[in-house]
Structure 1
Amino acid sequence: MVTSFCHELAWWCMELLFNEFQSRLLFGVQRELLDLTRIPLLNNKRARGLYLAGFTSCKLVAEANSSEVENILRNIHKFQSKKHLYGDNAWEVEERKKLHVIKIIGSTEGLTEAEAAVAIIAHAKVLSDAEGIGTYL
């Protein structure tokens, strides 16, 4: 509402400021993560993990290897389900490793880190391609 108000009053600088701040409030992230949070499967924690690993933009994520992104996601989401618990045999530990751990908003199913890595890279490619098209128009 504040952004629309500033637009109606032709306060262009204030409108720009509030428009950017609106995105930060929506995702709850700092400025450097705004580009990464455009990827649908990334929340603030996953975006921060990719950022700290050197993937600072959608374009860099689009060019990434899926195994790199998978390892980053695995390090972000270290769950107890992956650990060898007292009384477990090797088969039970392997079965827990196959659990779907990346939850998707609006879905009851989840993704493994490998599936999520492929989906994140695919979404990043779409976003970076759209940016490239926009620069030529």
Structure 2
Amino acid sequence: MTQSSAVFSGKVIEIADKNQNSSIQSSADPIAVVFEVEESWKGINQTQVVVYTERSSESCGFEFSLHNEYLVYAHENAGNLNASICSRTTLLSAADQEKQDLGKGEGSTEQISIDLTTENSTNTNQLYIYLLIVALFLGGGYITLKRRTKK
């Protein structure tokens, strides 16, 4: 617990993988996991929190599952909370002894709601804008080339 920036129990309510549909993927790609916080022992006072992990255990990522409950030990890196298979993070159902050792945690005091789909749609909209600009640039180049070849 002393090495963790945050220790809490919570239920996974959303998992966002911005590279899910990418043709190039890495086991180290970041995955954002939104938790509904149930109880906190350190570093969390919000009702929801985002924890990042790598795509797979091959890169030390913890493979969270939607709707499962976990006891999460996270460390802060560049302003984000991160969990890995090297932390003590585990399914809550397998953490009876740890919860007993931790004692009674605190409830969340700051009510927030996190929606990662908004962030992903913003990134998608930016991609469409860039593609439109490239298409306009290529279209302009094509028209210019056609005019020059007619002369």
Alignment TM-score, normalising by the size of structure 1:
0.28
Q: Which has the higher strand share?
A: 2
Higher Cα radius of gyration = 2
Alignment TM-score, normalising by the size of structure 2:
0.26
